[in-house]
Amino acid sequence: MKYPDEVDLMSFFECEPTSLDSNNIPFFYNESTYNYTNEENQNFNFKLTPSYGEVSILVKNKKMELSNIKLKSVYSLSILSDKKEEKRIMITSENFIVKISFKPEFQFEIIEEKDV
């Protein structure tokens, strides 16, 4: 799985990740969780396990769960935009592309492809 380096992910989510295992385990083999809240008070719980190609994203607001995305065959994760006013990523797999906006507010687009 291709993914941004740890520093870029910390910059994007504006926090340090919580690791499932100790800090002695390399980032690639660990599960890292980033918690982020945007200006619309939408809370994101973003989990990344590069060695397994897994990404999960739980999105909530004060009243309800907005989305629960679990992807288990991710080829790559890329940051499309990491600006003060806009944060966007793209996740690709063999059969799909997912584009997710975290800021200014949550939005996602799923594109199914036969040959990505």
Q: What confidence score (pLDDT) does residue 64 get?
A: 96
Tell me the average pLDDT across 104-109. 96
Label residue 114 by pLDDT band (50, 70, 90): confident
Give the separation between CA 67 and CA 59, rounded to whole angstroms.
5
Q: Per-residue pLDDT for 100 more than 80?
A: yes
Query: What is Dmax (Cα atoms) for the chain?
Result: 39
Tell me the average pLDDT across 90-100. 96
Q: What confidence score (pLDDT) does residue 45 get?
A: 98
Give the separation between CA 58 and CA 106, rounded to whole angstroms.
11
Q: Where are the domains of the chain?
A: 6-112
Using a cut of 0.95, tell me whether the model's pTM lies above it.
no
Query: Hey, what amino acid is at 37?
Result: T
Q: What confidence score (pLDDT) does residue 22 get?
A: 74
Q: What contacts 111, CB < 8 A, 6 or more positions away?
A: 96, 97, 98, 99
Q: What confidence score (pLDDT) does residue 115 get?
A: 62
Q: What is the pLDDT of residues 7-66, one digit of tens each?
A: 999 999 999 999 998 778 899 999 999 999 999 999 999 999 999 999 999 999 998 999
